[in-house]
Structure 1
């Protein structure tokens, strides 16, 4: 008797109707034609990893249930930061780490957005544009902090996409509503209920900082787009303070490990096109559907593959790693923060998908050649599910 196999949705040959449509499905349908799409080698490597994620091509392991004897096969993840299936655990780990660093102060969500005029340079020189975005944003906040004689802090997360997968570079920033003064004491930057800083003033300083840096790094390109960069006001969006410090981390967790499009937004894939959901923010966030050819979808998705080793989550000021390591504990003591000790995690044993009560234990590991013959063949070493 052949054992029941859990996680059938991860099999390459699983019935299509039993699986949710995925980015990987488009890549498999396109196959070798992707080589002619004009993508660079790093983008091709990334898309190849996403296509292989949780398939036999990356190997896997077999787990056995300690109650019913069911055998379960699981394929390895690609762990690529652009993969729709590999972000959940990373996000939870990040949230857990940040929860020990909170202060009992107001926190603000501020978004710094680049204008469309910068997109052509972002396509060809993404590292320069995105590094400059981080630099200009932090220097803008520092300028306002220094005016109040305090050291600011910031956590910034880069997003490069709009809902329709167009290029739309912007930073989501969580900014504590104050900073550290010369004596190492906490100092609020605002009155209760107010915004962090005036948004129009932030926008003007941000544009000036960005353009100044871009002019030094890319003088020729800057002169080509200078009029467009200064023609319209830039957008800095700020929300009122969060309800509590704990809600800050949960909120930011939505943004830290997001990718351009999640699999649940993909509604259908045929041999030519892909259809996905998106929100039209020009119409108050009305939900719509968009259909793109495979080639156009892959082109748009590839726009958001970040350069190799590019850091998309950055910490600044008194939220930087160096500052936190040396002074955070002292500041928390001054603000009477009760920091919970980290609880050592117990080894996680997944539940059996067959009997729902037993625990799964690793009994075999296999590489890209696929599961062992004894498992596939249903020989005497195979243990059938008794339930």
Structure 2
């Protein structure tokens, strides 16, 4: 979708994907939550704002990408199931997306808590007597209040099925947010080396934030005071952050002047 904005410039957004395997009733319900930037950077560092998304395209693109990935992993035996999925889901796979009209800081705080939450909050567990567990939830379809009572072992079974395997990644970063490891190569369109150097270099993180969002992370947004003391360990050496920043900036200025 972003790539179609300009094929030559290859506009790339940033996105974070979080896998949840549970529904409100604790049953198996795998789905993905995705945070997507409202715009993307081109290869030459130009930002293009995108406020409205084509959700029909998103549903169809999600269906195609997921089915192709499953076929690559499962093999030719998946082709019949794949064809059936296209027949039964002509409008694409389900994508729930609506614009957020709240303050961005409020939205970010809410989503941060929501994505990182456990399978069930203790506030939803109403009673436990050693044998029986009673919990409640609002049904997703109609927000109807539902109270459910289970034997304790059945309740535990519903919980432990959502424990991921060791080292299994539940969170993925793509596009501008990606770490660009080989394992993530299929998750995002590869951006240019120049763009990677500008926006993803660890040693230029302060410059990247300033170029991307227009503020200096070392200055307080409330009182405008600069951080007086902050140090990092870089190449096993204790280096003041300010010194590291000045070295990076001087090196960057030298490259631009030589060019």
1:264 to 105, 117, 123: 123
Larger radius of gyration: 1
Larger RCO (alpha carbons 8 Å, 6+ apart): 1
> Structure 2: how far apart are the matches of 1:224 and 1:259?
36
> Structure 1: how far apart are the matches of 2:84 and 2:23?
20
Task: Give RMSD over aligned pairs.
Answer: 2.7
Within the alignment, does 1:202 sit opposite 2:58 as a pair?
yes
Within the alignment, does 1:304 sit opposite 2:181 as a pair?
no
Within the alignment, does 1:292 sit opposite 2:150 as a pair?
yes
Cα gap change, 1:185/1:244 in structure 2, threshold over 3 Å: closer, same or farther?
farther
Cα gap change, 1:302/1:263 in structure 2, threshold over 3 Å: closer, same or farther?
same
2:177 to 319, 324, 332: 319
* Unmatched runs of 5 consecutive residues or more in structure 2: 181-195, 221-226, 231-259
- Alignment correspondent of 2:18: 157
2:2 to 123, 136, 145: 145
Provide, for residues 83-122 of structure 1, a one-character-per-residue CA deviation record: whole Å limited to 9, x for no partner.
xxxxxxxxxxxxxxxxxxxxxxxxxxxxxxxxxxxxxxxx
Structure 2 SS opposite 1:238: coil
- Taking the TM superposition and a 5 Å limit, the aligned residue runs for 1:1-387 are 144-149=1-6, 150-190=11-51, 195=52, 197-219=53-75, 222-223=78-79, 225-226=81-82, 229-230=85-86, 231-232=88-89, 233-241=92-100, 243-283=102-142, 285-321=143-179, 323=196, 325-326=200-201, 329-334=206-211, 335-341=213-219
Matched pairs, number:
196
- Say if 1:177 and 1:188, in contact at 8 Å, map to a contact too: yes
- Say if 2:176 and 2:200, in contact at 8 Å, map to a contact too: no
> Structure 1: how far apart are the matches of 2:96 and 2:39?
18
- Say if 1:272 and 1:293, in contact at 8 Å, map to a contact too: yes
- Say if 2:20 and 2:30, in contact at 8 Å, map to a contact too: yes
Cα gap change, 1:328/1:249 in structure 2, threshold over 3 Å: closer, same or farther?
farther
Cα gap change, 1:214/1:238 in structure 2, threshold over 3 Å: closer, same or farther?
same
Cα gap change, 1:249/1:311 in structure 2, threshold over 3 Å: closer, same or farther?
same
Provide, for residues 119-160 of structure 1, a one-character-per-residue CA deviation record: whole Å limited to 9, x for no partner.
xxxxxxxxxxxxxxxxxxxxxxxxx11111301110122211
* Unmatched runs of 5 consecutive residues or more in structure 1: 1-143, 346-387
- Say if 1:157 and 1:255, in contact at 8 Å, map to a contact too: no
> Structure 2: how far apart are the matches of 1:228 and 1:280?
29
Could you tell me the TM-score, scaled by structure 1's length? 0.46
Could you tell me the TM-score, scaled by structure 2's length? 0.66
